[in-house]
Structure 1
């Protein structure tokens, strides 16, 4: 549409008593991230974008880019930090993730539902200290801070939900 690549976030089909049905869509411009609402007549056809997904290994990052390697061809590609998005909080070197490509352009970096990360720093939990719900903040190896149960200590590996950023369980 308008020579831009959009992802459909939601849609609603409306049929009026007189007149034709309409479809109201909420769209996200994949390149810029801008969200728009667009209404079309029911039955309007759009070209479907051919998005390819490839497993790639995260190598390293600098100030502007994250670098990934195609696990089949060993080609390395730089990906703008904006395209990596919230995945930056969960990525550590040598992790495998799915990269969505439109042609040769990276449009998104997608993580699995959960990742295993090591606790870099946390206060020791004290027995009986459950007035605040039995959890404490912990800083992970990527810099992300999550709430963990009091029995979790520094150096342990935990599973974190990549959608919510919440502690799931011990990974050991």
Structure 2
């Protein structure tokens, strides 16, 4: 196996500014050196934040992103910068969750992707948002996302 070609990356190993919005964020990808097999990649962002579009108050979520790559992998620093760009972005929970999933699909063209957005309560009601590109692949181990639905005190 050769080394992964990172020559086209603009953020990894460099001092870059935090993007001001998700639209300004640059998601980058690297070649998948194991594209001949199906396997699952998981990213967990337990401290995701965005802004309520009505009040401007912060909303918090625990995101779990699972995908089966094809030819491309998302470069993790660019993903972190993209996710943190939502801190100044006003949108409903559903829009944020699905927008993240769709941006990754547009970038990577994975064999399969799902995102679980486990949002903390505001106004007494937690909202969990789930999106995926289709049925999971039969030959890929798909662990539980490991995040309990909100139960309050018990």
TM norm structure 2: 0.21
Higher strand share: 1
TM norm structure 1: 0.19
Greater RCO (Cα-Cα under 8 Å, separation 6 or more): 2
